[in-house]
Amino acid sequence: MKIGVIGCGNMGLEHIGNLAANKHCGPENVFVFDLNAEAMTTARDRFGVRSANSLDDILQDAEIEAVVVACSNRFHAEMAIRALDGGKHVMLEKPMALNENDARRVAAAAAVSDKVLHVGFELRNSLFPLKVKTMREELGELVSAQVVEYRGHFWPEWKGMTSDGGSMYLMETCHLIDLFRWWTESEVAEVHAIGSVKNIVPHYQFPDTQFTSLIFQNGFVGHISLCHVRSAMPDQFSYSDPASHEDLLKEEFGHQYEYSLVGTKGSLRYLPLKGLLYLYRHEVQPDGSLWQRLDASQDTGEFPDHKSAIHNVAVEIDEFLEAVVGNRAESLDPEDALKTHLVCFAAEKALRSRRPVVMGAASGLHPALQPSPAKNREILSTVGDC
């Protein structure tokens, strides 16, 4: 299958390498385009792929069946719509667009097309999230989750600019919001968000530290702490191959993170870079107290490295191509991806306005979340008394 890749930067090169190695494709069938000629040369030299002279060379070539869009965010919507309208399958890096209207236009273009549109939420293809999905027996129903991430700042510069990157939500938090939606199979009802008032990263046009809390229709609560000052969380590297962490260790890319999940039957703590996963089972004692026992049988030996655990883009590309050739259904419906984006836009609004945002279709709320005027009055009067 001939396939075009637009953007040969950090992410584009990962996709190009995976396409060149994929049985449906191979290097001779990958055509790359980048506004930066040097980036194209790197892709060609590293993977033996071919370069195109222009975007139109790719979009107007009838033999090119599919396109991967991996350039700056501000071009995503128009490129995806053009490719879909032109009869091509599209693997679109997140975000779908920089604003709600354009994200809806992308989803609409996919809906009227008979082609695959895949949006790049690769956590859904990654081993740790997939494992959690199958841990209903151990965890029960998910009640809460927290992801804490300290990482190096975005580079190149465009990622920190609202005109090009959009927001921290579109650049990064979207992955975790999508993950919480996918894990819980519930929708966000309410978003609370605050960001740092003073930035340490000088070129960002949005707060470099953002705390976001989400209340879901089924009562699940999720919290995402993101801070782009990496040194504030101690190093966690311990996978055996240090070379595979070369990028992660660079100050501008380095990630440190922890996942904490609480379910009705058990709890889980995961340190991706250490390859450590702790599962605790909850046991209510006859006297009513709650004991939490470490389940020693859990290890992450099944995750060969950090990438396959939470950044499994090789499998993502493979599943996209399998959907294109008709061997499987596309796993992520564009309407589903759109819903994650709508939460991102709401969260950005909450962050900027410093007010919680209630999501549109708030029907079917968990009883504890139903508005109760009497209770509200009670709370308000208590606050007033203070």
Ligand X SMILES: NC(=O)c1ccc[n+]([C@@H]2O[C@H](COP(=O)([O-])OP(=O)(O)OC[C@H]3O[C@@H](n4cnc5c(N)ncnc54)[C@H](O)[C@@H]3O)[C@@H](O)[C@H]2O)c1
Residues that bind ligand X (CB under 6 A): 6-12, 33-36, 39, 55, 70-73, 75, 93-94, 120, 122, 156, 171, 311
User: Which one, 39 or 64, has the nearer CB to ligand X?
Assistant: 39
Classify 178 as helix, strand or coil.
helix
Q: How far is CA 374 from the centre of its chain?
A: 39
- By C-beta, is 93 or 190 nearer to ligand X? 93
Cis amide linkage into residue 27, ω under 30° from 0: no
Residue closer to ligand X by CB (options 171, 357) is 171
Beta-strand relationship, 221-227 and 142-151: parallel
Of the pair 86, 156, the CB lying nearest ligand X is at 156
Q: How far is the CB of 151 from ligand X (least distance, A)?
A: 11
Min. distance of Cβ 70 from ligand X in angstroms? 5
CB of 16 to ligand X, least distance (A): 11
With respect to ligand X, which residue has the nearer C-beta, 219 or 254?
A: 254
Q: CB of residue 108 vs ligand X: minimum separation in angstroms?
A: 20
Least separation in angstroms between residue 75's CB and ligand X is: 4
CA distances from 326 to 11, 21, 81, 92, 329 (A): 25, 20, 21, 18, 7
Closer Cβ to ligand X, 9 or 356, answer by number: 9
Tell the smallest beta-carbon distance from residue 385 to ligand X (Å): 48
DSSP 285-341: -TTS-EEEEEETT---TTS-SHHHHH--HHHHHHHHHHHHTTSS--SS-HHHHHHHH
Angle 28-31-34 (CA atoms, 0-180°, nearest 5)? 145
For residue 177, the minimal CB distance to ligand X (Å) is: 14
CA-based R_g, the chain, Å = 22
The two counts, helices (H) then strands (E), for the chain are: 14, 15
CA-CA distances (angstroms) from residue 171 to 32, 52, 74? Answer: 23, 27, 11
Q: How many CB atoms lie within 10 A of CB 381?
A: 10
Give the residue with the Cβ less far from ligand X, 154 or 270.
154
By beta-carbon distance, which residue lies closest to ligand X? Answer: 9
